[in-house]
Amino acid sequence: MATVANLSRAWAIQRRVIGALFIRELLTRFGRHNIGFLWLFVEPMMFTVGVTILWTAFKSTHGSNIPITAFAVSGYSSVLLWRNMPSRCILAIQPNLSLMYHRYVKVIDIFLARLLVEGGGATLSFIILTLFFSYMGWMSLPEDVLKVAFGWFMLAWFGCSFAIFVGCLAEETELVEKLWHPISYFLLPVSGAAYIVDALPPAFQKVVLILPLVHGVELVREGFFGSHIRAHYDMGYLATINAVLTFMALVMLRRVGAKVVPE
Amino acid sequence: MITVSDVSKVYPTRHGSVLVLDGVNFDVKPGEKVAFLGRNGAGKSTLVRLISGAEAPTSGTIRREMTVSWPLAFGGAFQSALTGLDNMRFICRLYGLDWKERVAYVEEFSELGAYLKEPVRSYSAGMRARLAFAVSMVVEFDCFLIDEIIAVGDARFHEKCRIELFEKRADRALIIVSHDAPYIRDHCSRVGVLNKGRLTMFDDIDEGYVFYKSIQHV
């Protein structure tokens, strides 16, 4: 019984800490000026809309005949998940070091608060854009919402565990911060956001399917277009990679947590 | 009760690891006022951070059986890009308190006026000290950790702190880092002197002070 009571108390504190940090993140990132918190999803929305317009203008369906708007929304929204989460976790500790004077604030809370902001923003923008564009008649609603949600969840899980891992690694060596930008840039075209696997030559399909991200994006696409495309994915593979990444992230968290000196 | 047993702290530096605290032992009972003396870099602030739980010792254990404040020090505790008020709200949320009913006290004690809505980075050392003090008073701890911060205030601030800490909260424990001998003599019942990572506790303040003076001339 004592352990249950301890656990529920720990959970209550954890919630308080992440809640307080979440608001603190929103305040420093978006402030109270002009549209304030609305930036949380307006920012990713502007990106997605921009890409949609570009792709529509160039008629670049990247080797398929599925609707461009839906293709861009599903593709680029997923990029926001795996790219922005690590970006926000790299060098996340430094600006929060002074808050670590409070015993309850730990490295994991800082990461989780930022991931919540990032993941929440991307998810909101994804939903709002899908609804808005469908209302405008530029795309149709997903054929299978559950599939989309599951694919999205798996991508978010990948983003979170990868972000915490990279965020911790950045505390060990500043190389990570320098390398992340080129890596994320080169990952973009192969991530599955800008093509569907089925349109690639079979030999190349095998190569891109090594990337765990592609599986998640493919499932989201199947949820959207269902019968119109032939999606290639293996959720078992993505789940295994996610689990391994999560484990590595937690190991790194322990290492970094012991080293951090509050300012 | 706070019990510190066999606590050591090692920091890695470019020229190898440095042993800042070496097998430190002491305890603080409820209501007790304890001072820590030591030369610059002797590990006083490190010890206070370890007691607060903000940092973990390299070895040894620290048991906290009462609520302990964060270290009220020159740096730390506030996010400098946020306003004083936002920082106060953050800390209230962190400790599970309603900030609305506490704003009036913080405004009154800190005397920051309109500055409460300015970023903390624009504050002077004295203003930060007043805010830190005011916020820690609304959270109400059993033990307050004070790392030299009272020293920066003016006479008026000193008097306010004295009333809040030693009159209204006479039953609380205090751990104070200070170089101010008369202040320690007036307020503390025990003193610990840190020298080369070792801690020596004295039940007599004057005795501790003589020891502290003696190690300064070596």
The per-residue b/e assignment along B108-135, b for 16 or more CB within 10 angstroms, e otherwise, is ebbebeebbeebbeebeeebbbbbbbbb
**pLDDT tens column, B9-28:** 999 888 889 999 999 999 99
DSSP A93: S
- For chain B, the domains span 1-67+144-154+173-218
Q: Judge whether residue A241 has pLDDT over 90.
A: yes
Backbone angles phi, psi at B137, to 5 degrees: -70, -35
Q: How far, in Å, CA of B19 to CA of B195, rounded?
A: 12
Angle ∠(A236,A238,A240) on CA atoms, nearest 5? 65
pLDDT of residue A61: 55
CA distance A216 to A189: 15
SS3 at position A69: helix
Does B67 contact A at CB distance below 8 Å?
no
Query: Over 90: is that where the pLDDT of A32 sits?
Result: no
A8 vs B: CB within 8 A: no
How many A×B Cβ pairs under 8 Å?
A: 67
Which residue did the predictor score with more confidence, A64 or B185? B185
Task: Closest CB to B79: pick one of A12, A99, A258.
Answer: A99
pLDDT(A2) > 80: no
For residue B138, CA distances in Å to A155, B86, B100, B150, B161 come to 43, 15, 11, 17, 13
Q: Cβ contacts (< 8 Å) between A98 and chain B: which residues?
A: 75-80
| Inter-chain residue contact B53 with A17, CB threshold 8 Å | no
Min Cα–Cα distance to chain A from B50, Å? 10
- Check CB contact of A98 with chain B, cutoff 8 Å: yes
Whole-number Å distance between alpha carbons of B1 and A9: 21
Identity of the residue in A16, A95, A262 whose CB atom sits nearest the CB atom of B54: A262
**In this structure, which amino acid lies at residue B33?**
K
The closest of A180, A232, A230, A227 to A211, measured between CA atoms, is: A232
Q: Is B25 helix (H, G, I), strand (E, B) or coil?
A: strand
Contact status of A95 with chain B (Cβ, < 8 Å): yes
The pLDDT value given to residue A51: 80
The whole-angstrom separation of Cα B208 and Cα B198 is 14
For A92-104, the pLDDT digits (tens) are: 999 899 999 999 9
B94 shares contact with chain A (CB less than 8 Å): yes
pLDDT band at A1 (very low <50, low <70, confident <90, very high): low
Task: Name which of A16, A17, A98 is nearest B76 (Cβ-Cβ).
Answer: A98
Which pLDDT tens digit goes with each residue over B17-68?
A: 999 999 999 999 999 999 999 988 889 999 999 999 999 999 999 999 999 9
Q: Domain ranges in chain A?
A: 2-259
The mean pLDDT value for A55-79 works out to: 76
Q: How confident is the model at residue A196 (pLDDT cuts 50, 70, 90)?
A: confident
The closest CB to that of B80, out of A12, A98, A258, belongs to A98
Which one of 3.40.640.10, 2.40.40.20, 3.30.70.380, 3.40.50.300 gives the CATH number of domain B1-67+144-154+173-218? 3.40.50.300
What is the predicted pLDDT for the residue at A55? 78
Q: Does B60 touch chain A (CB under 8 A)?
A: no
Computed over every residue of chain A, the mean pLDDT equals 89
Q: How far apart are CA A39 and CA B137, in angstroms?
A: 36
List, for residues A115-146, the tens digit of each pLDDT value: 999 999 899 989 998 998 899 888 889 999 99
Digit-coded pLDDT (tens) for B176-210 = 998 888 888 888 999 999 999 999 999 999 999 99
The per-residue pLDDT for A200 is: 87
Distances (CA, A) of B191 to B39, B65, B165, B183: 14, 21, 18, 12
pLDDT value of position B218? 62
Q: What is the DSSP letter of B113?
A: G
Q: What is the mean pLDDT of chain B?
A: 91
Query: A99–B90: do the CB atoms touch at under 8 Å?
Result: yes
